[in-house]
Amino acid sequence: MRARKGAKALADLVGKAMTPACRKRGFASVDILAAWPDIVGERYGERVQPERLVWPRRTGEDGEMTADPATLVVHTDGATAMMLSHETPQLIERINTFYGWAAVGRIKIIQRPVARPHKDGPRRARPLTIEEKKRLEGHVEAVADDRLREALKKLGAEIIARSASKPE
């Protein structure tokens, strides 16, 4: 059997390429970087950037290597650093919940600007033709609930406008 060739998800390819770079910075994988906005929430998602995990290694009493919780180094601007310093216990708890064990014991905050990704606004959908509007009305006219019918019309209009080629 031959291996199937086809399109692969970009996340799979980028994740595999980024993992060695992440490991140099102490992260086991790219997962925490990808999930960072979900972990820290809307308030810090774009304002705080994780830089690296510093893992202290100590030898236990019996000569075995033991891993203490790591220090997460993050950077942010001055005003956010002050707010973040008051909420570090909650943030550590969220990060450890993500990992599933007490991986992070401390957060070190470095004040420097964070590069924010440039976001373009949502792309505006083209207006529907009269024929498309009539066809859409025909599909949703049997829906009894007015709010549901209007919501379906909006959804349908967006789908039609984005999927069909622009009329000439």
34-65 pLDDT, tens digit per residue, is: 888 899 888 898 899 998 888 787 666 665 55
Q: Is pLDDT above 60 for 162?
A: yes
Mean pLDDT score of the chain: 79
Cα angle: 73, vertex 97, 91; to 5 degrees = 45
Which amino acid appears at position 5 of this protein?
A: K
Neighbour tally for 40: CB within 10 Å: 22
Q: What pLDDT score was predicted for residue 168?
A: 46
| Residue 96 burial by Cβ neighbours in a 10 Å radius (0-12, 13-18, 19+) | middle
Strands 57-59 and 70-76: unpaired
Mean pLDDT, range 70-77, rounded to an integer: 91
Q: 148: helix, coil or strand?
A: helix
Q: Is the pLDDT of residue 25 over 50?
A: no
The total of other beta-carbon atoms located within 10 Å of residue 48's CB is: 22
Three-state DSSP class for 112?
coil
Are the beta carbons of 132 and 164 closer than 8 angstroms?
Answer: yes
Distance (Å, whole) CA 92 – CA 98: 10
Say if residues 157 and 124 touch (Cβ distance below 8 Å): no
Q: What distance in Å separates the CA atoms of residue 70 and residue 74, rounded to the nearest whole number?
A: 13
